[in-house]
């Protein structure tokens, strides 16, 4: 494939460039701020997707959304691994998906997406006698909290158990009273250089079930993004996620 990598000089961008080359793809351009160079590839400060098979973007919500607009106008597929989109931004991505094929996922790891599906199934089968808590840990430079993956876990568990976002508890402080039975707790840790860790706890009376995923490098995110880019080839317009890529949907 002929790929364009947005944010090519960043840690994730470099992992994407390396993964693309390892798989025999051609990185035709890296998009970066003016004056920022990336070894081994041509860089530009303006996304020009024409002629590319796919654009891959792990940048920031505002930048990713603008790049999605550009790709939709050119009808070029784009894979977005950015997190922290607002409700309005997500709605615009859905609208843009009506014009071009877009994969948006808070986590491109194959393993973590399998865990998300397993967590939803566990929640459904264990039932409401088990309290659900999600703990996520990331490096100190991560800007959004909770992580997009933790929120995705909460959303899928809620969907599987007929709950809503009103059941989420993202912060606990002070005299909060007893824990509501249908609450889904989502808690955050930040520090060091942790790539990403997520654990889902199902607390029952007399027993506990834990389901965890730990990322030790960014390479698996990059490999997942390559898999998503390959899957998008020949697909029609739509807003997809990694469940579509992995055949869950």
Catalytic residues: 138, 142
The DSSP secondary-structure symbol of 130 reads S
Q: How many CB atoms lie within 10 A of CB 125?
A: 10
Q: Say which residue the tokens 């317009």 belong to.
A: 237
Q: Is 18 left (phi over 0), alpha (psi -120 to 50) or beta?
A: alpha
Q: Give the C-alpha separation, 123 to 83, whole Å.
A: 24
Helices (H), 3-105: 11-22, 61-74, 87-96
Q: Residue 152, Cα to own-chain centre: how many angstroms?
A: 8
How many Å is the Cα radius of gyration of the chain?
A: 19
Asked whether the CA dihedral 233, 147, 33, 88 is positive or negative, the reply is positive
């Amino acid at each position: 494939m002929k790929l364009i990598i947005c944010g090519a000089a960043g840690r994730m961008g470099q992992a994407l460039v390396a993964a693309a080359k390892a798989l025999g793809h051609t990185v035709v351009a890296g998009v970066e701020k003016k004056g920022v160079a990336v070894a081994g590839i041509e860089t530009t400060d303006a996304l020009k997707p024409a002629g590319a098979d796919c654009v891959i973007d792990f940048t920031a919500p505002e930048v990713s959304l603008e790049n999605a607009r550009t790709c939709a106008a050119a009808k070029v597929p784009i894979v977005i691994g950015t997190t922290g989109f607002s409700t309005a931004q997500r709605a615009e991505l859905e609208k843009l998906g009506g014009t071009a094929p877009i994969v948006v996922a808070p986590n491109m790891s194959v393993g973590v997406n399998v865990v998300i599906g397993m967590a939803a199934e566990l929640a459904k089968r264990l039932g409401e006698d088990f309290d659900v808590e999600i703990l996520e840990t990331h490096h100190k430079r991560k800007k959004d909290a909770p992580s997009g993956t933790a929120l995705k876990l909460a959303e899928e568990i809620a969907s599987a158990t007929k709950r809503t976002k009103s059941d989420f508890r993202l912060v606990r402080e002070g005299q909060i009273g007893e824990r509501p039975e249908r609450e889904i707790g989502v808690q955050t840790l930040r520090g060091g250089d942790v790539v990403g860790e997520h654990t889902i706890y199902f607390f029952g009376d007399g027993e506990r079930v834990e389901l965890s995923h730990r990322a030790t490098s960014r390479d698996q995110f990059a490999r997942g993004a390559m898999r998503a880019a390959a899957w998008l080839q020949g697909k029609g317009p739509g807003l997809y996620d990694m469940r579509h890529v992995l055949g869950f949907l």
